[in-house]
Structure 1
Amino acid sequence: MKSKIVKLLIFIGILAAANVLASFLFFRWDLTQEKRYTISDATKKLLQNLDEQVTIKVYMTGDFPAGFERLERAIQETLESFSDYGGVNLAYRFIEPKDSKVQEELIQKGLIPTNLFANEDGKRTERLVFPGAILVYDGKEYPVQLLKGNSSASSEERLNQSYEGVEFELASAIRRLTQKERKRVGILVGHTKVPPQRFSDFLANLQQNYDLYFDVQNPDSWEKGDLLVIPKPDTPFTDDEKYRLDQFVMRGGKLLMFIDGARVDSISLEGTFAQPLDLNLDDLLFKYGCRVNQNLVKDLSCAMIPLNVGNMGDKPQIKPMPWRFFPLINNFGKHPIVRNLDAIYTRFPSTIDTVEAPGIVKTPLLLTSKYTQIRKAPALVAYNEARQQPDPKDYNTGEKDIAVLLEGSFTSLFNNRLLPNDPRTATFIGKGKPTKMIVVSDGDLIVNDIDYKRGAPLPLGYDRLSEKTFANKDFALYALDYLMDSEGLITARNKQVTLRPLDKLRLKEERTQWQLLNLLGPLAFIGILGGVWQWWRKRKYATK
């Protein structure tokens, strides 16, 4: 009897010790093939260093179809993992926004609703759902859209892409709200004639995360920042400015360049010539590992433009026509910047070639479709081309890069070029620190349109004709975040969850037997287990 009591006390002591130990130590096993329940090290570090509470209000909850339920469950599972590392400094709750006033408030705060259609009692119903969240920290609010992905994918695939992006979207929003030190981004507007209003949406989003300054044709200010953005330059850089750019890169500075290979001014039905654009940067970029070609890309995958195709009576007929000088980019490289990204709207892009540069890793980010045609500048550009039916045989130059990521230790263009008596030799750096840059061969990619009736800028990537907002802003912000992200938070975008759909035909044919198995199987198992248990007890305690 005493031995049984001792064993019981030892067992209780082990349980108590295990509970005490568990309160100090935390671990979990993720047995899924894709590690879908494992968050990145950068996210863990971010959550563990929170000094005040972040409250996450998720508005995606309620009675949803299976795909939306899966996304809701992914959000909940991600937030549970977040709370394991954030502790008391991370709180969350799910709210179903049924009231119309609440819905209007959410729209005003920046959450975009989605129309959800369903059949209830034989009737088709429609309601607004808000697949997003509002983060609150230190009196500040930040909206997060959680339904993302490529619009050309099926609804099931897009929901799965949203599933994969939940961690990054929430973690990056937490970083925006909680960051204490803001990095500096310089905008080189001194070389562009595009009015500031046309960059306003891009700049407004940058200001949420970074301190901005503008060069205003003052190269001395370039050294003050961590990254320089070169937005659609149309005047050449001087040799002195090129030297300053080179030494900025040598000191570890980052570059994000949106530059054209050809200049296209006003266009008429009869046309105008696209002229080669010389920015005096060709030798610098060639030294770093790429070349922006002086040409234009025509792509069968393209946007539409409104065109007068003739008169009906005394009124012109305006119809949308495919404009192959405006490629829609829906072909991406393998990199977290562009993973699960929606299509991107471009205007008169040029091609980029990568060239040999020792120690530099080159990663294509944006690529055209394989149905392309290259027009070398000077090239005739006429709206009347939109009326012509293209011959696919003429669009055979294949996929072309229009955005490239370069990473590594760059070699200065000015090695062995400075004279001994040049005062710049005292501070000259011939081999740079490891850094990275992105070159995009379309200056218009970050130029937003203007609503001239209201005098207000339209969202970056918004197309008036299709009334769709393309992913230009997402690409630009993800690209800049990757360049500035020293902790690697963007690697969370690499998460991949494989869809494993059921065989619908087999499910239909075998539906009854699987239902019976699921219903009667557990009961039969419990019955067998109980029978074995009773047989064992009778055998053990039966009198001999």
Structure 2
Amino acid sequence: MENTLTNSPVAPLAPASRKRHDLTVFAAVVAGLLLLNFAAQRLFFRLDLTEEKRYTMSPATKTLLRDLKQPVTITVYLTGDFPPAFRRLEQGVRETLTEFQVYGGANLNYIFIDPSAASTEAARNQFYASLFKKGLKPTNLGATENGKRVEKIIFPWAVVSVGGQDRNVLLLRGNQAAPADVRLNQSIEGLEYELASTIRTLTPSLRKRIGVIEGHGELTNAQAGDMLSTWQQQYDVYRVTLSKVPDLRALDAVVVAQPKTPYSETDKFKLDQFINQGGRALFFVDALRVDLDSVSRNGVALATPYNLNLDDLLFKYGLRLNQNLLLDLNCGQIPLVTGMDGNKPKIEPMPWQLYPLINKFSAHPITRNLDAVYLKFTGSLDTVKARGIRKTPLLSTSRYTRVLPAPVPINFNDARLEPNPKLYKNGFQPVGYLLEGQFTSLFANRARPGTLKFQPEKSPNAKPSKIVVLADGDFIRSEIDPKTGNPFRLGFDRLANTEFANRELVMNATDYLLDETGLIAVRGKQITLRPLDKVKLAEERRRWQLLNIGAPLVLLGLFGAVRAWRRKRRYASFAA
């Protein structure tokens, strides 16, 4: 009897029993999905499996978004019928904003608007005009698609709105000299910082205080007008005369912008103590004086050394401002009279090697993926030994640079001549440095100016600090519009009708010096560009298209055949 039961076949379930079994399995699956959904709503996690963690927000960005106290709306105009190259940037913006919404919750919303979606041309042009009034300028960006050159008019802008305030955000950044795909990749890398820093600017918080030093012939409010107004959007900015204040402790940072007369020992002491005790500083200083107002009739001027009484201070901090001028074959232009057009002089722009265009930057967050910047009559910088100070070169001239020691005769008629490349062999010359660490006071073990009280070797209030030094006092000077008397945007060159990235560099440097949240470090985010082999892609394109279309159909057919065979075999057992 035992052997009979062991060897007998198992009887199949009755139809009613199988139905109950299927319903039980279905109910269990549904209950499991509901339980999983319930748990997912309360236990949030995301996995970023990309090598460079491109979908991972920085801790500073997460904190900013989680602490939002009022709604933030981001309107993006970068959408429409784009070629694939442009859709990469649009998709990057969508992915970034999706991540933002995860941490911002109900306080962060975004919408995409297609500027070209109007039903009629008149309505579309009217909408374009409204965007122009907001300062949103279109961009004509080119790319190569399937061997053809494609150009598209796009509005690479977003508008961030917080509490009735709007701020425009340019989404297409990067180096304009780079290929289109590289520039798009650089723009994607910077999306998190551009959007997060704008939100931070519009979010009420304790504003840092910047003092712009005056009293030594520094740039006036009109000359530095655009940079001052840009700082004021995020910081409280004051003009400070050192001789009228006991110290600078009420400030978080100071700006020294192209002084022309010497600093007294007392003024220099106040500046030194501020930096020694943790204050941050931006120096835009010239080693040589170039007085364009004293150009002779022959178009000749002379560049002679300044006596600013700051050389020993910078030397103590680890930097030497060289008394020279740099000529670079990668340069801007000046207008020169090249002849007569009737009774009027004919003026043409000519290359001017004393106006270097800087396109070589370090990988530091201050200068990463930065477009070219514009300098005028700049010298070079050298580092010297300073214990405990980390020195980072931020920007340099091109490899085709010539160094002229002071005094330097400047003949504007030289712009008419073809430069001799053999003379431009001094290589890359650094013109900007970031210094970080605990700075040793210049007045350590010395009597304070005007007193007999000696400063200790190490102040009890000493704190680590950061300073940025650029060997060009004109770096934050804006050209003045002769028609209105108002300053142009910083970095705008009327001859080239191009806006260089001077303002962006200064704001990045300011944020790096003053931002305690570490948000500026997001600019160091890197997304590796992995382009396909275009030759191989063209050769094998048809094969891969057929494979992508045919393979799913074949797999679907095989699945259907196997399923039909199993069903036939299964129900054949019931019939038996």
TM-score tier after normalising by the smaller chain length = over 0.9
Question: Are the counterparts in 2 of residues 219 and 244 from structure 1 also a CA contact under 8 Å?
Answer: no
Cα displacement (A) at 1:365:
0.6
Q: Which residue of 1 aligns with 2:269?
A: 243
- 8 Å CA contact 1:275–1:379 kept in 2: the answer is yes
Residues 377 and 520 from structure 1, CA distance in 2 versus in 1: closer, same or farther, beyond 3 angstroms?
same
| Contact in 2 for aligned 1:260/1:277 (Cα 8 Å) | yes
The percentage of counterpart residues that share the same residue type is 49
What corresponds to 1:501 in structure 2?
531
For 2:36 and 2:464, the matched residues in 1 are separated by 47
- How many aligned residue pairs are there? 540
> What is the distance in 2 between the residues matched to 1:515 and 1:304?
51
CA distance in 2, matches of 1:57, 1:387: 49
Q: Does 1:457 align with 2:499?
A: no
Aligned 8 A contact 1:247 1:428 in 2: no
Equivalent position amino acid for 2:425 in 1: N
For residues 383 and 529 of structure 1, what CA distance do their matches in structure 2 show? 80
Structure 1 residues 8-87: aligned runs within 5 Å: 11-87=29-105
User: Kindly tell me: are residues 536 and 436 of structure 1, through their superposed partners in 2, closer, same or farther at Cα, counting changes over 3 Å?
Assistant: farther
| Structure 1 residue 154 corresponds to structure 2 residue 179 | yes
Equivalent of 2:170, from 145, 153, 157?
145
Aligned counterpart, 1:492: 522
SS of residue in 1 equivalent to 2:274 = helix
In the superposition, relative to structure 1, how do residues 509 and 7 fare at CA in structure 2: closer, same or farther (>3 Å)?
closer
Match runs of 1:310-329 below 5 Å: 310-311=339-340, 315-329=344-358
The Cα shift of 1:426 comes to 8.7
Match of residue 183 from structure 1: 208
Match of 2:223, SS state, is helix
Tell me if the contact between 1:336 and 1:493 (Cα under 8 Å) persists in the aligned partners.
Answer: yes
Structure 1 pair 538/3, CA: closer, same or farther in 2 (3 Å)? closer
Match of 1:357 among 361, 386, 391: 386
- Pick from 360, 379, 383: which aligns with 2:412? 383
Cα offset, 1:88, TM superposition: 0.2
5+ residue gaps, structure 1: none
Confirm or deny that 1:345 pairs with 2:381.
no
Alignment correspondent of 1:407: 436
Point out where structure 2 has 5 or more consecutive residues left out of the alignment: 1-16, 117-123
Instruction: After TM superposition, give the deviation of residue 7 of structure 1 in Å.
Output: 6.5
Cα deviation code 1:239-280 (max 9, x no counterpart): 111111111112211001111111100234441210111211
The answer to whether the 8 A contact 1:409-1:431 is kept is: no
State yes or no: 1:274 paired with 2:303: yes
User: Is the contact made by 2:214 and 2:240 (CA closer than 8 Å) also made in structure 1?
Assistant: yes
Query: What per-residue deviation string (whole Å, max 9, x for no partner) do you get for residues 40-70 of structure 1?
Result: 1111111011011100011111111222211
Residue 370 of structure 2 aligns to a residue whose secondary structure is coil
Aligned-partner Cα distance in 2 for 1:22–1:61:
31
CA displacement, residues 6-54 of structure 1 (integer Å, 9 cap, x when unaligned): 7766655543332222112221111222222112111111101101110
Aligned counterparts of 2:457 and 2:48: Cα–Cα separation in 1: 52
CA contact (8 A) 2:285 2:471 kept: yes
Q: CA deviation at 1:91?
A: 0.5
1:443 corresponds to which of 473, 479, 492: 473
Give the match for residue 516 of structure 1. Answer: 546
Further displaced range: 91-100 or 339-348: 91-100
The whole-number CA distance in structure 2 between the counterparts of 1:508 and 1:429 is: 68
- What CA deviation, in whole Å up to 9, does each residue of 1:432-464 have, x standing for no partner? 312211001001010000111122211111111
Matches of residues 281-320 of structure 1 in structure 2 within 5 Å? Answer: 281-311=310-340, 315-320=344-349
Partner of 2:5: none
**What's the offset of the Cα at 1:163?**
1.5
Q: Which residue of 2 aligns with 1:136?
A: 161
Alpha-carbon distance in 2 for matches of 1:270, 1:382: 6
3-state SS of the aligned residue for 2:313? helix
Q: Secondary structure at the match of 1:492?
A: helix
Q: 1:435 to 1:536 in 2, by over 3 A?
A: farther
* 2:437–2:466 Cα contact (<8 Å) kept: yes
Matched residue of 1:75: which SS? Answer: helix
Q: Cα distance 1:157–1:265, how it changes in 2: closer, same or farther (>3 A)?
A: same
Q: Which moved more, 1:453-462 or 1:84-93?
A: 453-462
Distance (Å, rounded) in 2 between the aligned partners of 1:50 and 1:463: 39
* Alpha-carbon distance between aligned partners in 1 of 2:51 and 2:458, rounded to the nearest angstrom: 50
Cα–Cα, structure 1 residues 5 and 88, in superposed 2: closer, same or farther, change >3 Å?
same
Q: What is the root-mean-square deviation in Å for CA atoms of aligned residues?
A: 2.6
* In 2: Cα distance, 1:343 partner to 1:15 partner: 54
- From the superposition, tell whether residues 290 and 117 of structure 1 become closer, same or farther in structure 2 (CA, over 3 Å): closer
SS at match of 1:188: strand
Q: How far apart, in 2, do the equivalents of 1:182 and 1:424 lie? A: 35
Inter-partner Cα distance in structure 1 for 2:406 and 2:141: 48
Q: Deviations over 1:345-378 (max 9, x none)?
A: 1000110111111111111111000111111111
Which of these two proteins has the greater Rg computed from alpha carbons? 2
Greater mean alpha carbon deviation, residues 151-160 or residues 460-469: 151-160
CA contact (8 A) 1:250 1:430 kept: no
- Equivalent position amino acid for 1:82 in 2: F
Equivalent residues of 2:141, 2:180 under 8 A apart: no
Secondary structure of 2:73 counterpart: strand
Q: Would you say the 8 A contact 2:444–2:457 is kept in 1?
A: no
* 3-state DSSP of counterpart to 1:364: strand
Query: Does the aligned pair in 1 maintain the 2:448–2:454 contact within 8 Å?
Result: no
- Give, in angstroms, the shift of residue 5 of structure 1: 7.3
- 2:39 is aligned with what amino acid? L
- The one-letter code sitting in structure 2 at the alignment partner of 1:432 is A
Q: Does 1:105 find its partner at 2:134?
A: no
In structure 2, do the counterparts of structure 1 residues 235 and 74 end up closer, same or farther at CA, with 3 Å as the change threshold?
A: same
What SS does the corresponding residue of 2:249 show, helix, strand or coil? helix
So what's the TM-score if we normalise by structure 1?
0.93
Query: Matches of 1:373 and 1:195 in 2, distance apart?
Result: 31
Q: CA deviation at 1:521?
A: 1.0
Query: Which stretch of structure 1 is more off in the superposition, 420-429 or 353-362?
Result: 420-429
Distance 1:177 1:272 in 2: 47
The Cα offsets for residues 203-247 of structure 1, whole Å up to 9 and x where unpaired, read as 000000000111134343622110101111111111111111111
Change (3 A) 1:422 1:369: same
Matches of 2:42 and 2:485, distance apart in 1: 58
Give the Å deviation of 1:529: 3.3
